[in-house]
Amino acid sequence: MPVKFHYEDNLYFIHSMVRTIDTGLRLDVDPEYFRDKILEDILFIDATLLRVYSSLKENTLLINRTGHLRSLRRTMGAFTDFLKRLLDGEVELGDIVDTYRSKLTATLHTQERIRSELDAALERDPADDETSDTISSQEYGFLLADGDDGNDDDE
């Protein structure tokens, strides 16, 4: 059974999650209350972005694929910026960074690698998907022909 992905809504929601976590951690919250949930959210966001990327990579004929790829790149950019701040100690989250530094660093590198792949893919095909909807003059001629093929069956 085919699955319908709502790429824009999913990416908007994930982007909102990243912003919420990033903004929330600028507050002086007690890490012992939030660190497990934030780590879970980071791993969820990473896995979801990878699934969305995989789906978009496989579906090359998807309508508005270029727009979805751009949204994915923008969301991955926000996520990698957050991870960099977290790993650089700009965001205070207790011992979670030290405990999971290798996992968070691997996540950051994977996201950066995929974002580079997205950049390359968007450079190769910068045109919007709407260009494929353009009708050529030959197609117009065919569509607007009066259907007279030279056979007069009425006579």
CB–CB of 55/75 below 8 Å? no
Is 60 exceeded by the pLDDT of residue 123? yes
**Which own/partner pairs from 122-126 qualify as long-range (CB within 8 Å, at least 24 positions apart)?**
122/66, 122/69, 122/70, 122/73, 125/66, 126/66
Q: Output the CA angle 33-37-38, nearest 5 degrees.
A: 100
Strands (E), the chain: none
Q: Identify the band that residue 124 occupies on the pLDDT scale cut at 50, 70 and 90.
A: confident
Which DSSP state fits 127?
Answer: S
CB–CB of 52/111 below 8 Å? no
How far is Cα 52 from Cα 10, in angstroms, rounded to an integer?
9
How far is Cα 82 from Cα 110, in angstroms, rounded to an integer?
14
- Bigger pLDDT: 71 vs 126: 71
pLDDT confidence of residue 31? 79
State how far Cα 46 lies from the chain centre.
11
Which DSSP state fits 132?
Answer: G
Q: Identify the band that residue 118 occupies on the pLDDT scale cut at 50, 70 and 90.
A: confident
CB–CB of 112/80 below 8 Å? yes
Q: Output the CA angle 81-26-96, nearest 5 degrees.
A: 70
Q: Which two tokens stand for residue 63?
A: 């309508």
- Bigger pLDDT: 36 vs 75: 75
Residue type at 102 in one-letter notation? S
How far is Cα 21 from Cα 19, in angstroms, rounded to an integer?
6
